[in-house]
Amino acid sequence: MRSFPPLPDVRGSQASEDILTGHLWLLELIDGTGLRFRMDESGLLRFGDPETTYPEPDAVPPALRPAVRHIRERFDREAFRDAVDDPEGVIFFGVATHHRGTDYDWDRLPPFLGTDVWIGSRAGSEPGSFRPPDAAAAIFEGVGLAPVNAVEREVNARDFDPERYTVPESAWRDGSAAGVVVRNKRGGREKILREGAATGANEGGTDGDRGSPALDDSEAIAATYATDDRFDRVVDDLDRRGAGATVDAVADRVVEAIARETPVRFGDGGAAAAPGRVRAAVIERARAVLDDR
């Protein structure tokens, strides 16, 4: 699966000399993890983050699972097949939205926002390329997914000074955006981070608080973050979808919500929380919640 395009800082030493040409689109830089996917001929969606491709959805880390489920439920396979000659040659790129230092309004922010579409070449045709930002947004909307929001469209590059630019308010939180991505129609893309944001932002995220200590006490995580409100939202969502609010399903979704919406980091070793242990701590709470309903 094709790699994410690089996203250097337009104010830094790696900035391209030709980014500020023509007309620019300024897109909100969303703090999260890059997620890419494509559709097999069978209609099966294959997923990867910036460094890894996953053999199956269950292999996806908990913080990214809401995005994967969101895409699998909403992606319009028939519309996609009707729109392109070679579905397997199209790679979709975007951001799996989760807490990496920026606290969003998680109820409003979609689990996935699309940023780029790569359409590969066919024999005897032009080389493959990333679509311009307006075309990419239309493609995402056409297959049932939301594109990342545009801050400004068609800004004349002659009127844009990145050194004096102030990052605007976010569409998804009270406060400024993590930054903006500057795009031109020739495929150029670079970023401007808000003051004080992490400088390692790339592949759709800012990596804001990766260095913060994570809670690794499963019981403490469950006590702190498996709240009544979080349980209620999960149960209501499962009921609305007709998915069945079983103890296992509720516990799984609450763990995913904790991974997406809080500073807790899940993983193996170190200060990371073990998903299985947190789930075991949450499942007893889930059983009590369902017994009370």
Single-letter residue type at 20? L
Query: pTM for the full model?
Result: 0.89
Asked if residue 60 belongs to a domain, the reply is yes
Same domain for 27 and 172? yes
List the one residue out of 100, 111, 7, 87 whose CA is nearest residue 50.
Answer: 7
The answer on 234 and 185 residing in a single domain is: no
pLDDT of residue 197: 65
Q: What is the DSSP letter of 112?
A: E
Whether 256 and 126 share a structural domain = no
**Domain CATH for 44:** 3.30.470.30
On whether both 139 and 232 belong to a single domain, the answer is no
pLDDT attached to residue 198? 54
Q: Which residues contact 206 (CB under 8 A, 6 or more apart)?
A: 29, 31, 100, 101, 102, 178, 179, 193, 197, 198, 200
The reported pLDDT for the residue numbered 50 is 95
pLDDT the model gives residue 291:
84
Backbone angle region of 247, left / alpha / beta, with phi > 0 → left and psi within -120 to 50 → alpha: alpha
Residue of 117, 138, 145, 115 lying closest to 129 (CA atoms): 117
What six digits make up the tokens of 79?
């519309």
Taking the mean position of all CA atoms in its chain, how far away is CA 65?
Answer: 10
Q: Judge contact between 41 and 193, C-beta under 8 A.
A: no
36 and 84 inside one domain: yes
Coil, strand or helix at 189: strand
| The domain boundary residue, chosen from 157, 177, 193 | 193
42 and 187 co-located in one domain? yes
pLDDT tens for the chain, residues 1 to 293 = 899 999 999 887 666 668 888 999 999 999 999 999 999 999 999 999 999 999 988 899 999 999 999 999 999 999 999 998 889 999 999 999 999 989 999 999 999 999 999 998 765 556 788 999 999 999 999 999 999 999 999 999 999 999 899 999 999 999 999 999 999 988 889 999 998 665 444 444 444 444 333 456 889 999 999 999 999 999 999 988 887 889 999 999 999 999 999 999 998 666 688 899 999 999 988 998 888 87
Same domain, 138 and 225: no
> Domain count of the chain?
2
Concatenated DSSP letters for 263-281?
Answer: S--BSSSTTPBPHHHHHHH
**Residue 143: phi, psi to the nearest 5?**
-105, 10
Is residue 13 assigned to a domain?
Answer: no
With CA atoms as reference, report the closest residue to 24 among 6, 10, 36: 10
Same domain as 266, residue 185: no
Q: Are strands 129-130 and 53-54 parallel, antiparallel or unpaired?
A: unpaired
The reply to whether 205 falls in a domain is no
Q: Is 212 exposed, middle or buried (0-12, 13-18, 19+ CB in 10 A)?
A: exposed
Instruction: Mark which of 177, 193, 209 sits at the end of a domain.
Output: 193
Shared-domain flag, residues 144 and 181: yes
In sequence order, what are the beta bridge partners of 181? Answer: 27, 191
Is residue 108 situated within a structural domain? yes
Which range marks the domain in which residue 138 is found? 23-193
Which pair of tokens denotes residue 38? 């494509």
For residue 36 the two structure tokens come to 């890419």
Task: Name every residue whose Cβ is closer than 8 Å to that of residue 143 and which is 6 or more positions away in sequence.
Answer: 75, 76, 79, 80, 83
272 and 157 in one domain? no
Residues 47 and 184 in one domain: yes
Answer whether residue 202 is part of any domain.
no
Whole-angstrom distance, CA of residue 284 vs CA of residue 236: 19
pLDDT given for residue 243 in this prediction? 79
Residues 170 and 33 in one domain: yes
For residue 123, being part of any structural domain is answered with yes
The reply to whether 86 falls in a domain is yes
Contact by Cβ (8 Å): 104, 172: yes
Q: Please indicate, yes or no, if residue 235 is contained in any of the structural domains.
A: yes
